[in-house]
Chains A and B, each alone.
Chain A
Amino acid sequence: MSSRWDELVPGAETGSVEFVVTDEMIDEYVGAMEIAHPWFTSANTPYHARIAPPDMICKLAMTPLFQEYIRRELGPNMRARQAFKFFAPIRAGMTVKATGHLTEKYERRGKHFVTLEALFTDEQGNPLVLDKRTQYLPEPAAAA
């Protein structure tokens, strides 16, 4: 593992995002995941609006929130663990915001892991989704 590992500080900000959830984003995500649930394909929902699959905004924000930072600081990585807490539905047209943080780094059986976290909120600051993920940092086989 590069010396960058020693320099990583838990609490460091890893990135931030702010974007509007559009019907096109939902269409693309639902298509890629082959999701058939009617709440994600029409506005005929208990919320009287179309909503996004609950994890969609986390997927769309993953690269600027976390991956650019990890790849820059540590290189290739793989998800080892993923947790979500869902607070409220994400409606089409809603503006969502999040800031990512590295919350933990640890070594287990000689392998390195980092845990990252971001709370997505709406424009008023109401929580939408908490995304907590742990990434495993393999040594590049070609460089070994």
Chain B
Amino acid sequence: MEFPAIEKRITIEKMARYTGEAGIHTDDKAAQKIGLPGAVVQGGQLVGYLNEMMTYALGQGYLEGGDISVVFVKSAKPGDVLVTRAAVKEQRETGARIMVDCEVWVENQRGEKIAVGNASGLLPESAQK
């Protein structure tokens, strides 16, 4: 089982394409109106990166019974290079399968954590033999 570090280079164009509408994720002025320094990456985009990593690691075991919970602790902005990370906390038996509990996070190019949380999923059957 391997948790690949998924790297994403953030641009305002990519943020706009993901968001699909005008607002604090695309427009500096809209973001500044609510006290942000400028446009910020949408939280769902960050969780999506973590879901991609978890799907690589656990496959069907994540898509059929996996879960994730993330808190957004710092803003990500255009120009950032974000990387997903995971650390296994525990592997526990659940019926005939093994559930993997992980700490997961997204960090920026300075190593600062942007989103932190936990994710779980079933170990692939091939990895349990």
Contact = CB atoms under 8 A, between A and B. Distances in A.
Contact of B63 (A34, A58, A88): A88
Contacts of A88: 63-64
B34 A140 contact: yes
Given A59-B44, A62-B44, A84-B67, A31 B17 contact: yes
Contacts of B67: 83-86
A63 B21 contact: yes
Chain B interface residue number, banded: 35 or more
A33 B65 CA distance: 23
A86 B61 CA distance: 10
A34 B69 CA distance: 22
A39 B59 CA distance: 9
A84 B33 contact: no
A74 to B, nearest CB: 12
A85 B65 CA distance: 7
Contact of A32 (B14, B65, B68, B71): B14
B81 to A, nearest CB: 13
A93 interface: no
Secondary structure class of chain A's binding surface, majority of residues: mixed
Contacts, number: 100
B105 interface: no
B42 A79 contact: yes
A46 interface: yes
Contact of B35 (A33, A82, A138): A138
Interface string A106-144: 000000000000000000000000000000001111100
Interface of A: 31-35, 37, 39, 46, 51, 53-55, 58-59, 62-63, 76, 78-89, 138-142
Given A33-B49, A81-B72, A141-B33, 10 more contacts: A34-B8, A53-B52, A54-B51, A62-B44, A80-B71, A82-B43, A85-B66, A86-B67, A87-B65, A89-B64
26 contacts: A33-B48, A34-B8, A35-B48, A46-B59, A53-B55, A54-B62, A55-B44, A55-B48, A58-B44, A59-B48, A78-B34, A78-B72, A79-B72, A81-B72, A82-B47, A82-B70, A83-B68, A83-B70, A84-B51, A138-B34, A138-B35, A139-B35, A140-B33, A140-B34, A141-B32, A141-B33
